[in-house]
């Protein structure tokens, strides 16, 4: 079964303007960009469970512009997939603006990845290395602003922090002056992986900004999301692994409810989700509700029909 193509689908819900959401005074709940995972089927699932705003996985802008195959494989959406932010990895203002022009009819905005700490990304001049290149970030934002004239189209950035927080505040101020719509802050440095998130640093950044700020890092439940929102004073929270483990997290569930699992099966089959992705998401979702023996059996399944039979036998329909 083939999912809806980018070329035939235009976002029909512009009324769900992320900027207005950020100024509502309510917690804005955001699904993070996740390579391989935050694709259309998963975005559709989390939207059923109180997620307000979704990001695509990070897409390399140069490949996206130059290759029709890359566009078809990397970006799929449909009319219900709103509001939507397309995240790009980029180090060239012209290529980024070209990519933004391609997606602007199908999304509410684009985001520049300035936070990915993976070696390959930084070696290519993408991701977290951009927090040390504020002029390049400024040029990319300006070029998109000049080339995309769609009213309300957002241009945001997602960053990590510096060891010297003054540098991060300076970067954010420069980005704000250039016309960035909002900033997402992952509260770790590029070198940190599993160390505690510096929520105090996110709070300081927010206090120095007039534009919305989203807090990101180690949020695993709605209660934690609300707590981080309160202590940082930010306008929203972005969650990655917490949603992978429990796509119903933002609706207040402590673990993935069975209804959510069956919703995933329905959505994934309807949209033609590849088997590996379909299975992997279920492994994440069922981590907390299955025994070690059950995991061994479930993780070894090798077909969609075997998965559906397993779920039906163990959990019913």
Q: Are residues 176 and 135 in the same domain?
A: yes
Domain that holds residue 213: 16-247
Q: CB of 162 within 8 A of CB of 189?
A: yes
Tell me the mean pLDDT in the region 119-124: 92
Determine if residue 30 is labeled as part of a ligand binding site: no
34 among annotated binding-site residues: yes
Give whole-number Cα distances, 47 to 98, 109, 145, 222, in Å. 29, 18, 28, 15
126-135 LR contacts (CB < 8 Å, sep 24+) = 126/60, 126/89, 126/90, 126/91, 127/89, 128/159, 128/160, 128/190, 129/190, 130/91, 130/159, 131/159, 131/160, 131/161, 131/162, 131/167, 131/168, 131/171, 131/190, 134/170, 134/171, 134/174, 134/175
Predicted confidence at residue 266, as pLDDT, reads 97
pLDDT at 7: 42
Position 10 in a domain: no
In a domain, 3, yes or no: no
Same-domain pairing of 129 and 278 = no
Q: Please indicate, yes or no, whether residues 261 and 226 belong to a single structural domain of this protein.
A: no
To 10 degrees, what angle do helices 134-147 and 93-103 make? Answer: 40
Residue 188 domain-assigned (yes or no) = yes
Pair 177, 48 in one domain:
yes
Share of the chain above pLDDT 70, in %: 95
Q: Is 194 annotated as a binding residue?
A: no
State the catalytic residues: 116
11 found inside a domain: no
In tens, the pLDDT along 63-101 reads 999 999 989 999 999 999 999 999 999 999 999 999 999
Report field, pTM of the whole predicted structure over 0.85: yes
* Cβ-proximal residues to 3 (8 Å cutoff; 6+ apart), any chain: 40, 41, 76, 78, 271, 272
One domain, residues 50 and 190:
yes
The annotation status of 281 as a binding-site residue, yes or no, is no
| Model pLDDT for residues 178-237, shown as the tens digit of each residue | 999 999 999 999 999 889 999 999 999 999 999 999 999 999 999 999 999 999 999 999
End-to-end CA distance of the chain: 22
At 300, is the secondary structure helix, strand, or coil?
Answer: coil
DSSP state of 42: H
Residue 296 predicted with pLDDT over 50: yes
Binding residue per annotation — 35? yes
Are 274 and 237 found together in one domain?
no
Show which of 207, 223, 247 is a domain's final residue.
Answer: 247
| Last residue within a domain, chosen from 247, 271, 295 | 247
**Please, which residues bridge with residue 213 across strands?**
183
14-49 tens-digit pLDDT: 457 899 999 999 999 999 999 999 999 999 999 999
186 with 279, same domain?
no
pLDDT for 3: 38
Has 230 been labeled as part of a binding site? no
Residue 62 labelled as part of a binding site: no
């Amino acid at each position: 079964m083939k999912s809806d193509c980018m070329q035939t689908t235009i976002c029909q819900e512009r009324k769900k303007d992320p900027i207005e959401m950020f100024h509502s005074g309510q917690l804005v709940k955001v699904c993070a960009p996740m390579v391989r995972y935050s694709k259309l089927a998963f975005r559709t699932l989390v939207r059923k469970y109180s997620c307000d705003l979704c990001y695509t996985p990070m897409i390399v802008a140069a490949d996206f512009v130059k290759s029709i195959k890359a566009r078809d494989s990397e970006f799929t959406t449909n009319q219900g997939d709103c509001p939507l932010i397309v995240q790009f990895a980029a180090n060239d203002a012209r290529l980024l603006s070209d990519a933004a022009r391609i997606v602007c009819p199908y999304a509410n905005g684009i985001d520049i990845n300035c936070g990915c700490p993976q070696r390959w990304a930084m070696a290519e001049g993408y991701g977290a290395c951009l927090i040390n290149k504020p002029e390049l970030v400024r040029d990319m934002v300006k070029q998109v602003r000049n080339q995309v004239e769609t009213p309300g189209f957002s241009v945001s950035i997602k960053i990590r922090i510096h060891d010297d927080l003054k540098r991060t505040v300076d970067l954010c101020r420069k980005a704000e002056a250039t016309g960035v719509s909002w900033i997402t802050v992952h509260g770790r440095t590029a070198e940190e992986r599993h160390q505690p998130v510096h929520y105090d640093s996110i709070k300081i950044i927010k206090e120095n900004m007039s534009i919305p700020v989203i807090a990101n890092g180690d949020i695993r439940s709605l209660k934690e999301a609300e707590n981080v929102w309160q202590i940082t004073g930010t306008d929203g929270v972005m969650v990655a692994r917490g949603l992978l483990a429990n796509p119903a997290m933002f609706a207040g569930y402590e673990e993935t409810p069975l209804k959510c699992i069956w919703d995933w099966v329905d959505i994934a089959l309807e949209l033609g989700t590849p088997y590996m992705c379909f299975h992997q998401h279920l492994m994440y979702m069922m981590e907390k509700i299955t025994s070690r023996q059950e995991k061994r059996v479930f993780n070894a399944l090798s077909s969609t029909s075997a998965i559906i039979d397993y779920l039906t036998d163990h959990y019913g329909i």
